[in-house]
Structure 1
Amino acid sequence: MPPRPLEIGPAGRAAAHAIERTRTARGYSQRQLAARVTALGRPMTFTALSRIERTVRRCDIDDLVAIATALGVAPQALLAGALAPPRVAGAGET
């Protein structure tokens, strides 16, 4: 029986989308960002980066730190959406 792929949860999906948003805002292609990550000592192909952004591949903590460094942001910036507590509507709000 083939192994089941690990499910990517909400934090992983939020980080993947943040990576893509930040990469495009910086004007980097996937190839350029993958090369920057590799230059930092964390080998990464553009295919691996594409799979992370499409939530096909999990982004481990070492990948996240290297990607954040290559993008010039703190790792927390890529997790910000995942860390925000859900907003609860107060009285009179919907």
Structure 2
Amino acid sequence: MAARSLEIGSAGIRAARTIEILRTEQDLAQRELAELVTALGHPMSNTMLSRIECTQRRCDVDDLVLIAEALRVSPLVLLQGPNPL
């Protein structure tokens, strides 16, 4: 079976960029955010988080919800971006 192409749409790219922006605004290293997500019951390594932020890995709905919780924002904030219109 051929590997599926990794196509990340505009919402996924916006979420990835927003995660990185909010993480850095909160002065969290990728490792620290990954540890917070893991502590919430969703195992995540800093490599996984790095790949999400660099749009080399899809951010699935479980990732999105737990990353948002760890960053203390609504998942909607990650989808809309840090400065929605």
Q: Report the TM-score, using the length of structure 1 for normalisation.
A: 0.83
Tell me the residue number matched to 1:46: 46
Tell me the residue number matched to 2:59: 59
Tell me the residue number matched to 1:23: 23
Q: Structure 1 vs Structure 2: percent identity of aligned residues?
A: 59
Post-superposition Cα deviations, 1:16-49, rounded to whole Å, max 9, x if no partner, equal 0000000000000000000000000000000000
Tell me the residue number matched to 1:91: none
Q: Which amino acid aligns with 2:75?
A: P
- Point out the structure with max Rg over C-alpha: 1
Question: How far did 1:70 drift?
Answer: 0.3
Post-superposition Cα deviations, 1:54-87, rounded to whole Å, max 9, x if no partner, equal 0000000000000000001111111113xx68xx
| Number of equivalent positions | 83
Question: Matched residues in 2 for 1:80 and 1:18: separation?
Answer: 8
Equivalent residue of 2:28, what SS? coil
Question: Matched residues in 2 for 1:6 and 1:27: separation?
Answer: 30
Question: Matched residues in 2 for 1:50 and 1:15: separation?
Answer: 13
Instruction: Give 5+ residue unaligned stretches, structure 2.
Output: none
Question: Matched residues in 1 for 2:26 and 2:73: separation?
Answer: 11
Q: Which amino acid aligns with 2:66?
A: A
Equivalent residue of 2:41, what SS? coil
Deviating beyond 4 angstroms after TM superposition, the runs of 4 or more aligned structure 1 residues are: none
Q: Report the TM-score, using the length of structure 2 for normalisation.
A: 0.91
Instruction: Give 5+ residue unaligned stretches, structure 1.
Output: 86-94
